[in-house]
């Protein structure tokens, strides 16, 4: 049974929320974050990517980076940029992008639910990235990033969200990328208790933030070992998340670009493809349906349709797995997409123009525009206890770091 709870958020004073809030640490590199934060002393990148305050080229895993993150967070609090709520509360976080709105409940989630797989994952974590965030959480003593969770909407919580949405927003601003962010504070203890009770029987699914969740759990375990008399109520037993209903979310595709044709000419590559796919030179930049892939090669778009039956399996039936098993691996020699440097992954938010740019530059040979994985497919994979191929989903809009922080002290 999923255990969620209210918490004393550390969050910006109202007039600085827009200047504090930043994209998640893992969607850009240090140089990009440094440029965005330039001239903005309130940017939360000073906490989540503290290397921006150090000389360019600083190793992002250097101990001094984690120490700076801790110190910068503490300085934000001491200077009054961030303040801690006096009592535990829940929060509603609404995002509006391109006319589509999604509202989630910001709360703390038990690490025991993650350990017992009541919070289900669909993605493997990388050891280096997990170690990085574990150190960041442990040294800063805070969850500074939000884990993006999903629940199956059955209508039972609709009235609670409607009550919450009637609350006057605490923050309401539109970021530079056009996404509107609205946060409401649920001070009504009866409503908060009703939310906590309503989620008690739910299974939750990680949409985005696998490394943030895994690192928070690892820190919680470490602190339990260091404090054998722990009660389970300590803040390190919980991690920060926003829980969204599945029917409000959309997944963008995660596209693929390959550097070369593995020794093929364009013509021999097409000939080899025709053994497994119907190849149409039709100019469509995005596949019209599940199972199809749009391919950009030598300045032209083609639609690839499998000539083989698609397996009825949570993993084998995924478009990204079909492409990997029937094209990338056997034809282009991409045996392990997690490690092969010949393949790049491009989030769907960048659009097909980015794919064309990468190929037309001459630095890459072929691009594949994918049909997006569905929320239902994601949950089906997680329910089966399986792991999706790398870079199967891209969620937009991204939650902003800095609006809500959870102290684990």
**What confidence tens digit (pLDDT) does each residue in 176-228 have?**
999 999 999 999 999 999 999 999 989 999 999 999 999 999 999 999 999 99
Q: Say yes or no to pLDDT of 67 above 80.
A: yes
Q: Which residues of 140-177 are buried (b: 16+ CB within 10 A; e: fewer)?
A: bbbbbbbbbbbbeeeeebeebbebbeeeeebbebebee
What is the reported pLDDT for 201? 87
φ/ψ of residue 68, rounded to 5: -65, -40
Q: Say yes or no to pLDDT of 282 above 80.
A: yes
d(CA 22, CA 389): 28
Tokens representing 124? 């493997």
d(CA 110, CA 350): 35
Q: Tell me: cis bond preceding 143? Omega within 30 of 0 counts.
A: no
Is 9 within 8 Å of 402 (Cβ atoms)?
no
pTM value is 0.92
* pLDDT level of residue 390 (50, 70, 90 thresholds): confident
Q: 99: buried, middle or exposed (CB in 10 Å: 19+, 13-18, 0-12)? A: exposed
d(CA 238, CA 144): 13
What is the reported pLDDT for 338? 86
* pLDDT level of residue 37 (50, 70, 90 thresholds): very high
Average pLDDT for the chain: 96
What's the rounded mean pLDDT across residues 251-270? 97
**SS3 (DSSP) at 18:** helix
What is the reported pLDDT for 2? 81
Q: Say yes or no to pLDDT of 131 above 90.
A: yes
**SS3 (DSSP) at 323:** helix
What's the rounded mean pLDDT across residues 277-306? 97
C-alpha distances in Å from residue 43, one per residue of 13, 47, 79, 274, 399 = 13, 8, 14, 51, 15
Q: Say yes or no to pLDDT of 301 above 90.
A: yes
What is the reported pLDDT for 295? 98
Q: Say yes or no to pLDDT of 350 above 70.
A: yes
**What confidence tens digit (pLDDT) does each residue in 313-341 have?**
999 999 999 999 999 999 999 999 988 99
What's the rounded mean pLDDT across residues 267-293? 97
What is the reported pLDDT for 102? 98
* pLDDT level of residue 249 (50, 70, 90 thresholds): very high
**What confidence tens digit (pLDDT) does each residue in 14-28 have?**
999 999 999 999 998
What is the reported pLDDT for 292? 97
Domain with CATH 3.30.1760 in the chain: 254-371
Dihedral of CA atoms 144, 234, 238, 126 in degrees, nearest 10, equals 70
Question: If we measure between CA atoms, which residue out of 400, 349, 404 comes closest to residue 22?
Answer: 400
CA 396 to chain centre: 9
Give the rounded percent of residues in the chain with a pLDDT score beyond 70. Answer: 100
d(CA 356, CA 175): 27
Q: Say yes or no to pLDDT of 1 above 70.
A: no
Fold exhibited by the domain 254-371: 3.30.1760
* pLDDT level of residue 374 (50, 70, 90 thresholds): very high
**What confidence tens digit (pLDDT) does each residue in 132-169 have?**
999 999 999 999 999 999 999 999 999 999 999 999 99
d(CA 345, CA 101): 27
């Amino acid at each position: 049974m999923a255990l969620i709870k209210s918490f004393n958020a550390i969050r910006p004073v109202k007039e600085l929320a827009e200047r504090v809030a930043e994209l998640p640490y893992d969607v850009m590199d240090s140089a990009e974050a440094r440029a965005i934060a330039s001239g903005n002393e309130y940017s939360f990148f000073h906490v989540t990517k503290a290397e921006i305050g150090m000389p360019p080229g600083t190793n992002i895993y250097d101990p001094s980076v984690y120490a700076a993150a801790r110190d910068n967070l503490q300085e934000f609090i001491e200077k009054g940029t961030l303040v801690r709520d006096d009592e535990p509360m829940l929060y509603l976080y609404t995002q509006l992008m391109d006319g589509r709105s999604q509202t989630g409940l910001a709360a703390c989630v038990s690490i025991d639910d993650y350990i017992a797989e009541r919070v289900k994952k669909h993605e493997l974590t990388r050891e280096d990235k997990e170690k990085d965030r574990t150190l960041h959480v442990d040294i800063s003593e805070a969850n500074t990033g939000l884990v993006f969770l999903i629940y199956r909407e059955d209508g039972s919580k609709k009235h609670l969200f409607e009550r919450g949405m009637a609350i006057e927003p605490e923050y309401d601003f539109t970021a530079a990328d056009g996404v509107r962010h609205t946060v409401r504070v649920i001070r009504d203890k009866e409503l908060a208790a009703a939310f906590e009770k309503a989620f008690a029987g739910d299974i939750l699914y990680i949409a985005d933030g696998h490394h943030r969740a895994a690192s928070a759990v690892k820190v919680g375990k470490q602190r339990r070992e260091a404090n054998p008399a722990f009660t389970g109520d300590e803040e390190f037993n919980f991690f920060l998340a926003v829980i969204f209903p599945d029917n409000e979310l959309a997944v963008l595709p995660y596209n693929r670009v390959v550097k070369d044709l593995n020794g093929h000419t364009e013509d021999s590559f097409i000939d080899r493809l025709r053994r497994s796919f119907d190849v149409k030179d039709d100019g469509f930049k995005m596949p019209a349906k599940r199972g199809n892939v749009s391919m950009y090669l030598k300045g032209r778009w083609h639609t690839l349709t499998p000539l083989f039956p698609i397996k009825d399996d949570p993993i084998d039936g995924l478009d990204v797995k079909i492409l990997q098993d029937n094209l990338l691996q056997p034809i282009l020699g991409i045996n392990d997409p997690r490690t092969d440097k010949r393949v790049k992954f491009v989030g769907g938010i960048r659009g097909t123009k980015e794919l064309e740019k990468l190929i037309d530059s001459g630095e890459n040979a072929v691009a594949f525009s994918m049909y997006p994985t569905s929320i239902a497919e994601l949950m089906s994979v997680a329910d089966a206890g399986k792991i999706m191929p790398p870079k199967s989903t891209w969620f937009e809009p991204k939650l902003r770091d800095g609006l809500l922080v959870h102290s684990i002290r």
